[in-house]
A and B are shown apart, each in its own frame.
Chain A
């Protein structure tokens, strides 16, 4: 059993509570009175089990095994880590030697974190550790991050695919609407053509109109997207009890959306206008 996993499994048995103890959001005490070991628990466990700083609990590595009485020295907030958001189990933090003792784990650990001065020192440290190591390896934090974020890379690809389908649907919708708008003005366009307006002028005016609609529509879309993003964050932060932001509207995203809708709008307007000016004016009058 790894220590990291065991941290998740330590079972907390409520034995006694100290009603006078103050509640605190972050661990304020490093030592408990009377030599009792101290632990920190996550805010979800504190809320669900109604535990507070100063309460005494019994922790053991398995149900039915004698454990240690410890005092809660702090309540910690989970970090905004997407990898942990769907995990519902509670977490407690113990001093390393305390957990090793509870598990009968000797002096083993799952990993060491090593801070180096710069990137070059990191490379040197990795090669020296790997040369000396047996049964373990050193990795750059950036490489570990890439490995552990593969799930989110897949979700991101999925979102992009959904985005492509949405763009196709939007393009067809836009083309349809532009076709309808241009069709509505068949007689106007026929009259303009008969009094000498060039096809280029008519196409230009329709394209300009399409661009205006696309810009206004995309601005409205940005507003709707911002509101939807806020609702998504509120909902999922409450569901998963995490400060993680699930949806972020950035300047790049807004630019991409506006540019895409502008391009689609212009293309749809141009296609619809071309179809109209190619029809003889008298045919547009229905004659």
Chain B
């Protein structure tokens, strides 16, 4: 009965109700997007960090992995010390650098990663095989396209320039043995990976024994934070970062987006709330005679309150599915804009859909709908019956 009355009241002013639902749907879409932005970015980065199962990362003291060009001295000795620990499954050293590929009429530059192919965690093999000899490398699609080469071809590569002699430094002929997708690099970033020993040799003596980063995979059940603390205490020249520590750093760097999400989410909710409150209040004002008649024939005050609360909640809940669809569409659009951040890893999603985000948005909308009906329902229920009926009758 209450539901039928609430529905009749909404249907009576179709245009108004449709506009209200539309307005709430846009607010709901924005709310969902902001909930996705505030939690999705962090979750996306977390899954990226854990994608290859490495829980700890060692970088030069005071820096984040690959945040600067600094390298770890005596990286091989440090790797040996870490490997000796019973809780450690594997250690993957990575050396970052640049490779220059001279072509007939131009030069192609690319990011180079020196890795131990058997334990690396920086790329996934798409085609071909891992490098097994010192003169082999794997490259991503962007680099293969720029070079005009394919798996099985050889290519001349150098690690730098000697401006005084006007020659390339550390030049080698390398064979391409695989096509890969780099996990932490941007999609359009030209990149290659080769054995770390080869890259060190190409760079010259200054790279001897050095690495930019060492990734550590622990045995199942190992206490990550305890291992992190133990390594940090014993290795003074490196910073040891666990996934949770890295996420904390990411939170600091991207705090702008989280705060923006909270502010815009709150504004969306407020706009939706105000819209529904205004509509239901006006609707109640138009029906004060009707409400007074209901009260006069014995309808309980709480039934009036329930009917009006149901009206506002219905608007919110009917708008929610439309808002969800609209939110997912706009999230894709906004994500495609932010995905153009220079150097952003391909797999990072700013707007990651999680069921919890949808439930949170729906819960907030339902709560907002109920709250939006509080004032008009209080007003409707507290009308003096006789006075209102007289005023309505006299006009």
Contact = CB atoms under 8 A, between A and B. Distances in A.
A62 B237 contact: yes
A32 interface: no
B338 A5 contact: no
B342 A150 contact: yes
Interface string B257-290: 0000000100010010011001100100000000
A151 B343 CA distance: 10
A144 to B, nearest CB: 14
Interface in A131-161: 133-136, 150-151, 154, 157-158, 161
A151 B342 contact: yes
Interface of chain B, main secondary structure? helix
A277 interface: no
Interface string A109-128: 00000000000000000000
A176 B114 CA distance: 62
Interface of chain A, main secondary structure? helix
Given A6-B70, A179-B16, A169 B237 contact: no
B125 interface: no
Contacts of A62: 60-61, 73, 237
Contacts of B338: 154, 158
Contact of B271 (A6, A88, A169, A236): A169
Interface size class of A (residues with CB under 8 A): 35 or more
B62 interface: yes
Contact of B71 (A1, A11, A89): A1
Contacts of A104: 206
A6 B73 CA distance: 15
B384 interface: no
Contact of A89 (B62, B237, B342): B62
B253 interface: yes
B231 interface: no
B69 interface: yes
Given A5-B70, A151-B342, A179 B15 contact: yes
A205 to B, nearest CB: 20
Contacts of B274: 173
Interface string B63-79: 10000111101000000
Contact of B279 (A11, A134, A180): A180
A180 B252 CA distance: 45
Nearest to A156: B337
Contact of B275 (A8, A136, A176, A184): A176
A1 B70 contact: yes
Contacts of B271: 169, 173
A176 B237 contact: no
A196 interface: no
Contacts of B19: 172, 175-176, 179
Interface stretch (B22-30, B82-90, B189-197): B22-30
B163 interface: yes
A235 B237 CA distance: 35
Contacts of A251: none
Given A62-B73, A150-B342, A180-B282, A158 B16 contact: no
Contacts of A169: 23, 26-27, 30, 268, 271
Contact of A183 (B16, B162, B340): B16
A168 interface: yes
A112 B384 CA distance: 83
A161 to B, nearest CB: 6
Nearest to B252: A88
B237 A172 contact: no
A101 interface: no
Interface string A214-252: 000000000000000000000010010000000000000
B11 interface: no
A64 interface: yes
B236 interface: yes
B26 A136 contact: no
Contact of A168 (B26, B63, B161, B334): B26
B333 A135 contact: no
A81 to B, nearest CB: 16
Interface of A: 1-2, 5-6, 8-9, 11, 62-64, 86, 88-89, 104, 133-136, 150-151, 154, 157-158, 161-162, 165-166, 168-169, 172-173, 175-177, 179-180, 183-184, 236, 239, 275
Given A169-B27, A169-B271, A172-B26, 17 more contacts: A6-B70, A9-B62, A63-B237, A64-B237, A134-B166, A135-B163, A151-B341, A158-B338, A161-B334, A169-B23, A169-B26, A173-B271, A176-B275, A176-B278, A176-B279, A177-B278, A179-B16
21 contacts: A5-B68, A8-B68, A9-B70, A11-B62, A86-B256, A89-B62, A133-B163, A134-B163, A154-B337, A157-B337, A158-B337, A161-B337, A165-B26, A165-B29, A169-B26, A172-B19, A176-B19, A176-B20, A176-B279, A180-B16, A236-B256
